[in-house]
Amino acid sequence: MQKKLIYFIIILLIVTGIFLVPVQSGILLTNLEGKPYHFIPWEGRTLTIGWRHSVELTPWQETYTINDDHSLSLSETIYQSYGAGTPDTDGKVEFLADGYVRVTGIKREIPFYSLYYVPISYYSIADGTTSYPLKNFVPDYHQIQIHYESITLFSWIRIRLIS
């Protein structure tokens, strides 16, 4: 009887661990309802989102620091063309030698990054060493959310089976 109880407790702990214990942290790409498109393991504490501006057709990057609570804080934004929608009153503006503009010191914290994915914009995410084009992971013309998450073994398996 005692042996069965021990086996039951061990199995219960394993099952509980599968559903509750985080095993990996990374970038989770989802739709608005939270349906996962893809999970990318992520070691660093920064996330850079890049795209080509739809009007000026020039590159744009925003780099976020990943906070302990998994929210994102804007560290800097770099762009080539100064126009509508560019920050000009917040932060510190620096004009770079290559013609780009870098803005730092903007106080903006978000729980996740949201975008409408269109292929003409060439969206990507990068960790400082590797760039991941979103066209490889998400459908065209869909609202996408980019989250930093710590996922359980169960969630990891479920995401792998879906994507």
Q: Specify the pLDDT at position 128.
A: 86
Counting Cα atoms < 13 Å in the Cβ hemisphere of 151 gives 21
Phi/psi at 6 (5° precision):
-65, -45
CA 26, CA 134: separation in Å to the nearest integer?
Answer: 15
Q: Alpha carbon of 149 to those of 30, 60, 120: distances in Å?
A: 11, 25, 28
- 3-state SS of 115-131? EEECHHHCCEEECCCCE
Q: Specify the pLDDT at position 135.
A: 97
Tens place of pLDDT per residue across the chain (163 aa): 788 877 777 777 777 766 676 678 999 999 999 899 999 999 899 999 999 987 777 899 999 999 999 999 999 999 887 665 666 667 888 888 888 889 999 889 999 999 999 999 999 999 989 999 999 999 999 999 999 998 887 877 777 777 6
